[in-house]
Chains A and B, each alone.
Chain A
Amino acid sequence: MEWVNAVLQGTLLGGLYALFAAGLSLIFGVMRLVNIAHGDLIVLAAYLALSITAGFGLHPLLALLLVVPAMGLLGYALQRGLINFTMGGDILPPLLVTFGLSVIIQNGLLMGYTADPQKLQAGALETASLTLLGLTAGVLPLLTFALAVAVIGALQWMFYRTAMGRAFRATSDRQDVALLMGLNRAHVFGLAMALSLAVTAIAGVLLGIRTGFDPAGGGARLIFGFEAVIIGGLGNLWGTLAGGVILGIAQAIGGQIHPGLQILAGHLVFLAVLAVRPRGLFPKMEG
């Protein structure tokens, strides 16, 4: 029973990882960009929520109403003001610039909030749980998973059913021909990053309620998100959710075997997938 429980908890944890990953997956799909600062932006969103909840006495989930648009705006500004200037064929400039951003965000947070771990206070939500068939699941992990499914479903719908999604796919396919359609590449990329960071905001707030955060925690979140994307297969949003779930289950089972194995087991599953299926389990796109 405790193994079944571990799988359940791992699956729900996978929802959080899918939220870490969805934004990465989106910007990779649209502009082939890997944002090294992605994890630090998740942590930044959590701190933003912290200040908002403290300042206005809002519940962290209500703070999302402010954090999501704020992060979206930041994403658009970052892309138009900085990252767009690195988008050539060479991989080093975007990597270096987002690495620089990562260091700047980490140290900026360190100055603003000190190195002490913080947590978002969500009251009864943190401890509430549901029991069914002898299995107990926290309401927060369930909510996180439901949000992950909703976010990925919405992104999928946006990508395949809306004008913005068409613009994203067209720009991803052929940037110069997309220009001929009157699509301003810089603006399209800005929108993609805005959307990516809007999702990041949700991930950051849920992370902040669930486990707490500190300025140095971005790297691990980037890596979990990245692993979920690769396990699921590049360019496949539902695959990213599956990748997150697989990662979550691997960690939960690893942790069940030995607490020190939790994170390691996730990495090992990732490396095993890489060794056997380098394009991920459900690939859709050329890397």
Chain B
Amino acid sequence: MAEPLLAIDRLDVFHGDFQALYGVEAEIAAGEMVAVIGANGAGKTTLLSALAGLLPRPAAAIRWQGSPIGALRADRVARLGIALVPEGRLLFPSLTIEENLIIGGRMGRRGPWGLEAVYRLFPILRERRAFAPAQLSGGQQQMAAIGRALMANPALILIDEISLGLAPVVVRQLYEVLPAIVGEGMAAIVVEQDTSRALSVSRRFYCLQEGRVALAGASGSVTREAIGRAYFGV
């Protein structure tokens, strides 16, 4: 079997004294879209932060194309081609929208994404490119945050709570463009509380419950009941 793009092996993550993840095992292949679902506090955001290098984690627990990357600082992880769209968007408030995009592309990785491509994907950002992030709606900010991550031409994009706090129409719009993004050969891990939406766009899923993988499988064949049990642990 070919080496997966990213392999997670017995990943334990702590917030100080509090253990947030227990022996998480998962993997993702190049170009694949995987959903991570679970209730509030199940450890979804912690998992993405750990993958992006923002939290301390065991050096050998995360392998990128076969090499351990658990000891790398977040900026090194980013240079490998792993981009995070953080929960709450977290655009740089003192940079304009266009500057936020440009800084996302500063590592100079080659690929299909550039300012033009992002503006084609989200035309509203072109109109608002000279605005400060605070002047944009939540949905537009989310577009800018996704655009900023795409600008890095990552091999793997991690998207945290894409729909959090957004109007349903905006959420639908964002989910419509997701396949186009992954269609470019990029792998994606999408963290989502809206289970059915997450399952509908992904090929496989992992369901976290209290820091552990409670269920994993193909998104198309899982039953509502199985998800419910894994979600709430009943």
- Contact surface of A with B, Cβ cutoff 8 Å: 163, 166-167, 169-170, 172-174, 176-185
Kindly list the 10 A-B residue pairs having the minimum CB-CB distance in the complex, ordered from nearest: A179-B74, A182-B78, A182-B107, A173-B92, A170-B92, A169-B94, A177-B90, A179-B75, A184-B75, A182-B75
Q: Are A166 and B90 in contact (CB under 8 A)?
A: no
- Contact surface of B with A, Cβ cutoff 8 Å: 52-54, 73-75, 78-79, 83-84, 86, 90, 92-95, 99, 102-104, 106-107, 148, 152
Q: Are A173 and B53 in contact (CB under 8 A)?
A: no
Q: Are A180 and B106 in contact (CB under 8 A)?
A: no
Q: Are A173 and B106 in contact (CB under 8 A)?
A: no
Q: List 14 A-B contacts (CB under 8 A).
A: A163-B106, A166-B103, A169-B95, A170-B92, A173-B92, A173-B93, A173-B95, A174-B92, A177-B92, A179-B73, A180-B84, A182-B79, A184-B75, A185-B75
A237 CB, nearest partner CB in chain B, Å = 13
Rounded to whole angstroms, the CA-CA distance of A167 and B94 in the bound complex is 11
Rounded to whole angstroms, the CA-CA distance of A174 and B84 in the bound complex is 14
Q: Are B92 and A176 in contact (CB under 8 A)?
A: no
Q: Are B54 and A179 in contact (CB under 8 A)?
A: yes
With a cutoff of 8 Å between Cβ atoms, the chain B residues found around residue A172 in the complex are: 94
Rounded to whole angstroms, the CA-CA distance of A185 and B53 in the bound complex is 14
Q: Are B75 and A183 in contact (CB under 8 A)?
A: yes
A180 CB, nearest partner CB in chain B, Å = 5
With a cutoff of 8 Å between Cβ atoms, the chain A residues found around residue B104 in the complex are: 181
Rounded to whole angstroms, the CA-CA distance of A170 and B94 in the bound complex is 7
Give which listed residue, B83, B90, B103, contacts A167 with CB less than 8 A: B103
* Known A163-B106, A166-B103, A170-B103; contact A180-B93, beta-carbon cutoff 8 A: no
Rounded to whole angstroms, the CA-CA distance of A133 and B93 in the bound complex is 48
With a cutoff of 8 Å between Cβ atoms, the chain A residues found around residue B79 in the complex are: 182
Known pairs A170-B92, A179-B78, A180-B86 / 8 extra A-B pairs, C-beta < 8 Å: A163-B102, A163-B106, A166-B102, A170-B95, A180-B52, A180-B75, A183-B75, A184-B73
Give which listed residue, B92, B95, B102, B106, contacts A182 with CB less than 8 A: B106
B52 CB, nearest partner CB in chain A, Å = 6
With a cutoff of 8 Å between Cβ atoms, the chain A residues found around residue B90 in the complex are: 174, 177
Rounded to whole angstroms, the CA-CA distance of A189 and B104 in the bound complex is 19
- Chain B, residue nearest A170 (CB): B92
Rounded to whole angstroms, the CA-CA distance of A169 and B95 in the bound complex is 7
Q: Are A166 and B83 in contact (CB under 8 A)?
A: no
With a cutoff of 8 Å between Cβ atoms, the chain B residues found around residue A178 in the complex are: 92
Rounded to whole angstroms, the CA-CA distance of A169 and B93 in the bound complex is 9
With a cutoff of 8 Å between Cβ atoms, the chain B residues found around residue A167 in the complex are: 103, 106
Rounded to whole angstroms, the CA-CA distance of A184 and B93 in the bound complex is 19
Rounded to whole angstroms, the CA-CA distance of A232 and B94 in the bound complex is 19
Q: Are B78 and A180 in contact (CB under 8 A)?
A: yes
Q: Are A181 and B103 in contact (CB under 8 A)?
A: yes
With a cutoff of 8 Å between Cβ atoms, the chain B residues found around residue A169 in the complex are: 92, 94-95
With a cutoff of 8 Å between Cβ atoms, the chain B residues found around residue A177 in the complex are: 86, 90, 92
Rounded to whole angstroms, the CA-CA distance of A182 and B52 in the bound complex is 11
With a cutoff of 8 Å between Cβ atoms, the chain A residues found around residue B92 in the complex are: 169-170, 173-174, 177-178
With a cutoff of 8 Å between Cβ atoms, the chain A residues found around residue B99 in the complex are: 166
Rounded to whole angstroms, the CA-CA distance of A44 and B23 in the bound complex is 55
Give which listed residue, A173, A179, A182, A183, contacts B94 with CB less than 8 A: A173
Rounded to whole angstroms, the CA-CA distance of A174 and B54 in the bound complex is 13
Q: Are B95 and A176 in contact (CB under 8 A)?
A: no
Q: Are B52 and A181 in contact (CB under 8 A)?
A: no
Rounded to whole angstroms, the CA-CA distance of A170 and B103 in the bound complex is 8
| B54, B74, B79 — most chain A CB neighbours (10 Å) | B74
B15 CB, nearest partner CB in chain A, Å = 14
Rounded to whole angstroms, the CA-CA distance of A165 and B147 in the bound complex is 21
